[in-house]
Structures are given as C-alpha cells and as structure tokens.
Amino acid sequence: MNTSEVITAGEIDYESLPANAPLASQLMAGAFAGIMEHSVMFPIDALKTRIQSASGGAASSGMLSQISKISTAEGSLALWKGVQSVILGAGPAHAVYFATYEYTKSQLIDPQDYQTHQPLKTALSGTAATIAADALMNPFDTIKQRMQLSTTSSMTSVAKQIYQKEGIMAFYYSYPTTIAMNIPFAAFNFVIYESSTKVFNPSNDYNPLIHCLCGGISGATCAAVTTPLDCIKTVLQVRGSETVSLPIFRNADTFSKATKAVYKIHGWNGFWRGLKPRVIANMPATAISWTAYECAKHFFNPN
C-alpha cells in the first residue's frame, strides 16, 4: 500500500508513522531527524551561543562576516566545536522525542480522527515528547555550549571538567528553563506545523516540499517567541566556562539569578540577543527535521 492509499483509507496522516509501525522504526526515524536537524546548522547555533554569552554588546556586523572572522582567527573548525556532543545526544533524544509524540498522540486521538484538526491533543503530545527528550539531551547540550566557548575540543575533557568543578547538577541547572522554553516550542511546533499543512495541503497528499515549507514556518515562529528563554538557558549552561568573567553570570545557577543577570548587564534587549541567528538556524533545522523524519519513516516502512 502506498502513502496516498494509506491517507485515503484514513489510517494515518502523512506526518505520523503508521499505528502498527514497530518501535525500532520510530526510534530510527527520530534519531535520523535529530542528527540532521542539529548538525546541518551547527555553525549558526555556535554563533548564537557566542552572541548570547558575550559580556559586551552583540556584534553589529553581519553573520557571514562574523563567521568569516571567527574562522580566520580560530580556524575553519572553530564553529564546529561541540558538534560531536550534539550528534551523540541528538540521536537518542530525538528518537525518544518522536516515539513519545507518536505514542502519546495515538493514545489521545482515535485513529478515525487523525484527519481532523486536533490542536490541543497535538500540543499535549508535543509537550510530553519534549519533557522526555530534554531529560536525556540536557547534559549533552550543556557540554556543547561549553565546547562552543572553550579552546578544548575533547567532549570527555569538558564533561570531566564540569563534573569535577561544579558537580553533577551543573549538567541540569538549565533543565527547568529548557523545559519552560521547549514545552511551548514543541507545542507550537506541532500545532503550527499541522495547522499549516491543512492550509497548504488540504488534500493531505504526501508532498515533501510542503512538508519542508510548513516545518520552516513552524521553526522560525517558535524560535522567535522563545528567544528570551534561550538567552537565560545559555547563561545557566555556560556559567562555569573560562570565557565568562563577570561574577554575576558565574554565580547565576537558577532561573531567577540568570534572568536578573541578563537584565542588569544588558537590559531588556539582552533577552533578544542572538534572535537573528536563532531564527535563521531553527527555520531550516526544523524543516530538515520534519523532512528527514518523513524520509526515514518511508525508508523504514516502505509498504
């Protein structure tokens, strides 16, 4: 049975795996999507981290100019430091993310209602997915942020340094903030994505271009509205880095302290530092994630 026949039969919508798909297929599709999403736009994410963690004002030059300067001064691989941590964590985390989403959605929505618009249940499914995935991904994300600011390119060395100097909790200081950011991000991601597919593809025909477009719309919107929380998360994750010199940032180990530090040093504009690279990174990254997920889904479930 091909995809259009499945849709016509009303068994699934094209952005979901078949209800009888084995868990291994869900995990592999999710892992592939996660690795593609985070690795392709990694240099832009690294630039965003530098902007958000800088003590002075954000650089006013264009992103391409900044990337060129960093590459010239520090080498062509400078903006790729930490990518190994992302790849190592993103695969399992996104496998859990999509598997949790599929399972929760299957429990909340009857199969015969999959073709109808279910924004609340979709949002709840996305919320459950991000809570589970972030618990696994947060330590890897913390290591990634530190490596993006560090001269050390060894993931194990950075992890060991964090553990010895700050303890195991340093890997989870940002988890509550990450959850506070990613729950609305995930909820809106799925709602905007599914809503936009109803507008651009009302016939529910499988169309990778529409799939990619809707993912991009969702990613850009969600990235923009959650930027203030992302700025706070960055402060919590890089507070122990050798590049952080201000005591107010080094001592920011809670959401409240990090928020006050950003406001005191940078004012309200501080909560929007890195907005442009964050949107530019997340728009194609989210599109890539959904498109890669679909590609892997059909590869692992060709019938």
Residue 123: per-residue pLDDT: 81
Rounded to whole angstroms, how far apart are CA atoms 128 and 183?
8
What are 185's two structure tokens?
Answer: 């991000």
Say what the pLDDT of residue 8 is: 32
Residues contacting residue 30 through CB under 8 Å, at least 6 positions apart = 94, 95, 96, 97, 98, 99, 293
Position 164 scores a pLDDT of: 93
Q: Which residues of the chain have pLDDT under 70?
A: 1-27, 29-30, 33-34, 55-62, 113-115, 117, 204-206, 293-294, 296-303
pLDDT for residue 294: 65
> Do residues 99 and 40 lie in contact, with contact meaning Cβ atoms separated by under 8 Å?
no
Architecture of domain 3-300: Alpha/alpha barrel (1.50)
Residue 31 identity (one-letter amino acid): A
- Record the tokens describing residue 22, joined without a space: 């084995």
**CA torsion through residues 57, 62, 67, 69, sign:** negative
pLDDT of res. 248: 94
* Cα gap 226→184, rounded to integer Å: 8
**CA 252 centroid distance within chain:** 23
What local confidence, expressed as pLDDT, does residue 12 receive? 32
Classify each residue of 216-251 as buried b or exposed e, where b means 16 or more C-beta atoms within 10 Å of its C-beta: bbbbbbbbeebbbbbbbbbbbbbbbbeebeeebbee
Axis crossing angle, helix 155-166 with helix 119-149, rounded to the nearest 10: 90
